[in-house]
Amino acid sequence: MSSDTTIPRVAPTKRRTGCLGCIWQVGIVLVLGAVLLTALTGLFHPWAFYLGGKFHIMPMWQGWGKAHAKSGDYLVWVQFEPTPNGSKMYLETNLKGNAYVCTPRGERLHMHLGGGMPKHLNLSTDGEPIHLYMEFRGNWRNPNLVMDDHGSIARGFQSDGTVYHGSGTGRPYMQEVVPIMFVRGSRSEFDRACASVMR
């Protein structure tokens, strides 16, 4: 006896991972990317793990200092690391990072930071020259950076500590040159110091 009844076939359902699955995959890609970048830095710029004289797991340096100018005291925080970007024409390793300036009036200004150091450095950078595109120039004196502003504070700020918004025409390039020493320190330490200026 034949039967016309057929058993319906149920299509297999795909397992849905949802947003958590996407986040997990993105997280793995980010971690692998960070590990690869750190490994490449270790290969081409091993000294970056010793900036300031001691080994640290991240190939970068951060610190802050105070510049005492005629227009007042400026707190400056810098964070930088080597980067493969930039011109291959110069015998220099390019640096990139971020910086904040806290003015005598308590205003906080964010800046993108660039700079350079000589190529093919030893693990110890003590005594090596460095310049930052905020116009700071100087040398490593481990664990600190001893620099001056190359006249940039006098060019960028008025005598009352406010930002100068005019053009550079007619403004002397080199006026007061202000020394500054950067000591290793976190952004939170800088923020607390800047907050005390605002009181």
Number of domains, the chain: 1
Per the domain annotation, does 17 fall within a domain?
Answer: no
* Residues 31, 91: Cα–Cα separation, whole Å: 32
Q: If phi over 0 gives left and psi between -120 and 50 gives alpha, with beta otherwise, what is residue 140? A: beta
Residue 157 burial (CB < 10 Å; 0-12/13-18/19+)? buried
The pLDDT value recorded for residue 28 is 72
Q: Cα–Cα distances in Å, from 182 out to 63, 67, 171?
A: 6, 10, 28
pLDDT of residue 11: 56
| Contact (Cβ atoms closer than 8 angstroms) between residue 62 and residue 79 | yes
pLDDT tens, 125-161?
Answer: 999 999 998 789 999 999 999 999 999 999 899 999 9
Instruction: Supply the mean pLDDT for the chain.
Output: 83
What pLDDT is stored for residue 91 in this prediction?
76
Backbone angles phi, psi at 139, to 5 degrees: -140, 155
133: left (phi over 0), alpha (psi -120 to 50) or beta: alpha
pLDDT classification of 166: cutoffs 50, 70, 90 = confident
Residue 75: Cβ-neighbour burial (10 angstroms; 0-12, 13-18, 19+): buried
> Does residue 80 fall inside a structural domain?
yes
Q: Is 154 exposed, middle or buried (0-12, 13-18, 19+ CB in 10 A)?
A: buried
**pLDDT, tens digit (0-9, with 9 covering 90-100), for 33-52:** 666 666 666 567 788 889 99
- 137 inside domain: yes
User: Within a 10 A sphere around the Cβ of 17, how many other Cβ atoms?
Assistant: 11
Residue 46: alpha-carbon gap to chain centroid? 18
Quick one: average pLDDT of 75-82? 95
* Confidence band, pLDDT 50/70/90 cuts, at residue 10: low
- Report if residue 36 sits inside a domain: no
Separation between Cα atoms, residue 26 and residue 190, nearest integer Å = 32
Supply the pLDDT for residue 61: 96
Q: Is residue 19 part of a domain?
A: no
Asked if residue 8 is part of any domain, the answer here is: no
Residue 16 located in a structural domain: no
Domain membership of residue 107 as a residue range: 48-197
Quick one: pLDDT band at residue 73, thresholds 50, 70, 90? Answer: very high
Give the global pTM. Answer: 0.76
In a domain, 39, yes or no: no
Q: Which residue has the higher pLDDT, 169 or 178?
A: 178
